[in-house]
Amino acid sequence: MKVPLSWLREYVDLPAATAHEVADRLTMAGLKLESITSYGHDVKNVVVGEVLEIEELTGFKKPIRHCKVEVGEATPREIVCGATNFVAGDRVPVVLPGGVLPGGFEVGARKTYGRMSEGMICSERELGLGDDHNGIMVLPAGTPIGTDVVELLGLRDDVIELEITPDIGYALSVRGVAREVATAFGVAFRDPADVEVPAETEPSWPASIGDPTACDRFVLREVRGFDPAAQSPLWMRVRLSRSGMRPVSLAVDITNYLMLELGQPLHAFDRSKLTGEIVVRRAREGERLETLDHVVRELDPDDILITDQSGPISMAGTMGGLETEISDGSTDIVIEAAHFSATGISRESRRHGLVSEASKRFERGVDRELPLVASWRAVRMLAELGGATVQPGVTHAEVDVTPARIAIPAGHPSAVAGVPYSKEVVVGRLEQVGCLVTDGDDPAVRQGGVDPTGVVTGGELAARLAVTGPDMITVTPPSWRPDLTDPNDLAEEVIRLEGYDRLPSVLPSAPAGAGLTEGQRLRRRVGRALAEGGYVEVLSYPFIGADDFDRLQLPADDARRRAMRLANPLSEDEPLMRTTLLPGLLKTLVRNVGRGFGDVALFETGAVYRPRENAPAAAPVLGVSRRPTEEELASIEAALPDQPLRVAVVLAGEFERSGWWGSGRPASWADAVQAARLIAAESRVELSISADQHEPWHPGRCAALYVGDTLVGHAGELHPRVIEAYGLPPRTAAMELELSRLESAMPGPVQAPSVSPYPVATQDVALIVPDFTPVADVEAALRDGAGELLESVRLFDVYAGEQVGEGNKSLAYTMRFRAAGRTLTVEETTAARDAAVAMAADRVGAQLRSA
């Protein structure tokens, strides 16, 4: 909303305050400043002149005129001008040599077209009064010669632009902003809507309200004999331009001017184009309307229309119809002012992608009491400026609306702000806003047991009243503040007018024993461990499409294909909540590779969403007027999916970089398994690994990850068809692990291990096993066979070749033995090693490899 400061001063007795001081006060009151634009402060030496003579110069491609202009000096000025819309005897604005026009443009005396030009005759655009540059600005006859044009036309002004949030629609008008300025400076406010409207009982053009949910007040007034050639006065055109609106014609400019001043949108119909009674109703199936922007619109049954016997003639509160618009020949005009449903206009505007200045105001809520006043002022201005005759009578159709009333404790604003406000301050501030405040608790406000504080219920109310005091007040918000519907709205008005800067800044005290949960600490440890291991964390959108399941090669009966569908997805290509982290990671990997980063190791931690068996199809939609019951909360909980926390990694390219030191090492399935081991180490759990076949991994290079008997994830190389479907680099590896299951399997608090002071005994053992034997099975057999003396076992070599026979492999382990209370003998160590080898031979058919 752009508001010229000069316009504000008409309704507020402002002291000698600058535009920046006014803007600062408005900001303190909660209105957001966008910008301040100054006009005319740099203009000087521009006076009124009278054209005495005009000589047409020939021999040029365009009309050139040499003029003698009287400017109140000893001799007339000679000025060369290219405009042709003025004649001798006209009064025009003239900038003299040494003068300055808006933008710092200096004018001097110079020779041009063979003649001396001592200044310049100005157009409206050159004076910064609008966009009209078609000709010279001709001033009214009789304007005193030599008068300072800056003072005459009010060129010097400042325009304050405010960002108006949806809850303060009243500020989309000079009236609303002026009221805020008057309150901020503590000065008188003159309401432009405070005019006496004649009491008329005769109707104007017949009209009625067909749908009370669409409109509750509809007013028509009529003028005849309007002069279509009448021009909008300069002051009106200047104010419209500086407020961000383009002047069009007198009739349209009057409706726009009053909308800016009062906040009440108006519409003018050509009376000769109306047929029969006007009815405000909803659209009917198949109806169409060509609007003023020459677009034929298919109307929705929820659209609010103004109609006559011919059908729709206007989209109410949004845009008029082309058939009944004011034209260059319109002499009889019907002015419409109404109060439409805010939600109805908002939906209509968005449905058709048609946002107008009128719809911006209606959807935020306008003053229901303005239509009579605004329409009366409109017809009076048409009469005064356009020579029209106001027809007696007014059509006033309305639906009874009970004004809102809110009962609150007088101390409620104090309880909200944490600052003591006396009852006198609370009542005074609410009355400044325009509220009617009465003592006592109106029983009608409590109908249905509604809590008058609006924020607490049951036993909490007594505790709140003990703090706020027992004094109750009943507040009736003014008609121009439809946003005041709740006790907290009223508290906000008191707080903002008293000053947000007066609210204390108090740091909350931390409750004892607070801190990160074990799950939060685990998540941080896992993130740090993977980052230290060379992985980069990414955050993907939790949305996937049905085609992701096909790209992952998931079977038709795979549980991961059951996904929650979003009611309002960001993209129709990804309408589902993810059931696995892999699609987002794989798409991120493809994006990185496509930008030239071929060696990539990524990880992500986040929730997946698994619908529960027999869950409701959708969660119930509850109201906000009260707290949900336990049954309603249970129904919401039943509809929610399980949301376990998972961690996943993907790898491609070189995991260990090559360079001058030698060749690197490509990422493989083993790195994906090792990532799972890193995570398990941070969880302090023992991870068991075994071969598996699980989509989307390669059936021969897939490992299942277990903690005890609980499956916690999978790791390995992705299936070639998955790699092809996503466009991934060859041999891409991935791991996905359920962090929630690891957390539940974590042991209790870490116990410091007892450290034996006795030396360790080391034995190496090499076993030959069939090449399909899982290494994890061999290691488990060694551990079980070695017994309690075994401290650790580590695989340090894998060999396959002629020495171990075809179809076999050799696994070499280092086994460390130690006793807690003595030094082990060679015999004890050898016996434990032999027992371990025997167990491996029994379980997996291992043979001790000879030297």
The pTM (predicted TM-score) of the whole model is: 0.64
514/175 Cα distance (integer angstroms)? 51
Question: What's the sign of the alpha-carbon dihedral 613, 615, 617, 619?
Answer: negative
Tell me, what's the pLDDT at 595?
92
Convert the pLDDT of each residue in 635-677 to its tens digit.
888 888 999 999 999 999 999 888 888 888 999 999 999 999 9
- Residue 686 in this model has a pLDDT that exceeds 50: yes
232/209 Cα distance (integer angstroms)? 33
120/536 Cα distance (integer angstroms)? 67
Q: How far is CA 710 from CA 51, 216, 401, 738, in A?
A: 99, 65, 65, 11
Output 801 or 679, whichever has higher pLDDT.
Answer: 679
Q: How far is CA 496 from CA 30, 320, 433, 501, in A?
A: 6, 38, 11, 9
Tell me, what's the pLDDT at 514?
65
pLDDT-based confidence at 41, cuts 50/70/90?
confident
What is the DSSP secondary structure assignment for residue 443, as one 8-state letter? G
Which of 37-41, 365-369, 494-498 is least confident? Answer: 37-41
pLDDT-based confidence at 314, cuts 50/70/90?
very high
Q: Secondary structure of 610-667 in the HEC alphabet?
A: ECCCCCCCCCCCCCCCCCCCHHHHHHHHHHCCECCEEEEEEEECEEECCECCECCEEC
- Residue 460 in this model has a pLDDT that exceeds 50: no
Output 155 or 426, whichever has higher pLDDT.
Answer: 426
Two tokens, residue 683:
């969880």
- Residue 851 in this model has a pLDDT that exceeds 60: no
- Of 393, 355, 345, nearest to 223 by C-alpha is 393
- Residue 279 in this model has a pLDDT that exceeds 90: yes
Backbone angles phi, psi at 246, to 5 degrees: -90, 125
Average pLDDT, the chain: 89
- Residue 261 in this model has a pLDDT that exceeds 80: yes
The per-residue b/e assignment along 439-477, b for 16 or more CB within 10 angstroms, e otherwise, is eebbeebeeeeebbbbbeeeeeeeebbeebeeebbbbbb
31/8 Cα distance (integer angstroms)? 16
Convert the pLDDT of each residue in 517-562 to its tens digit.
888 999 999 999 999 999 999 999 999 999 999 999 999 999 999 9
Tell me, what's the pLDDT at 561?
93
How many distinct helices (H) and strands (E) make up the chain? 22, 41
782/109 Cα distance (integer angstroms)? 106
pLDDT-based confidence at 68, cuts 50/70/90?
very high
**In terms of DSSP bridges, do strands 157-163 and 2-4 run parallel, antiparallel, or are they unpaired?**
antiparallel
Two tokens, residue 500:
């947000």
- Of 193, 645, 755, nearest to 434 by C-alpha is 193
What is the Cβ-side half-sphere exposure of residue 722, based on CA atoms within 13 angstroms?
Answer: 23
- Of 417, 516, 435, 447, nearest to 476 by C-alpha is 435
Average pLDDT on 297-308 reads 94
- Residue 404 in this model has a pLDDT that exceeds 90: no
Two tokens, residue 715:
């790791």
Q: Is the peptide bond before 696 cis (omega within 30 degrees of 0)?
A: yes
Tell me, what's the pLDDT at 442?
53
Question: What's the sign of the alpha-carbon dihedral 631, 633, 637, 639?
Answer: positive
Convert the pLDDT of each residue in 801-818 to its tens digit.
888 888 899 999 999 999
- Residue 753 in this model has a pLDDT that exceeds 90: no
Average pLDDT on 68-90 reads 91
Average pLDDT on 53-80 reads 90
**In terms of DSSP bridges, do strands 278-282 and 207-209 run parallel, antiparallel, or are they unpaired?**
parallel
Tell me, what's the pLDDT at 74?
87
Tell me, what's the pLDDT at 727?
93
- Residue 376 in this model has a pLDDT that exceeds 70: yes
Two tokens, residue 535:
């992985």
Contact between residue 494 and residue 426 where contact means Cβ atoms under 8 Å apart: yes
- Residue 110 in this model has a pLDDT that exceeds 70: yes
- Residue 153 in this model has a pLDDT that exceeds 50: yes
Continuous segment of H or E residues that includes residue 3? strand 2-4
Tell me, what's the pLDDT at 367?
93
Percent of the chain with pLDDT over 70: 96
Convert the pLDDT of each residue in 464-502 to its tens digit.
444 444 588 999 999 999 999 889 999 999 999 998 888
Tell me, what's the pLDDT at 470?
57
pLDDT-based confidence at 567, cuts 50/70/90?
confident
The total number of residues written for the chain in this structure: 851
Convert the pLDDT of each residue in 178-227 to its tens digit.
999 999 999 999 999 999 999 888 899 999 999 999 999 999 999 999 99
Continuous segment of H or E residues that includes residue 375? helix 370-386
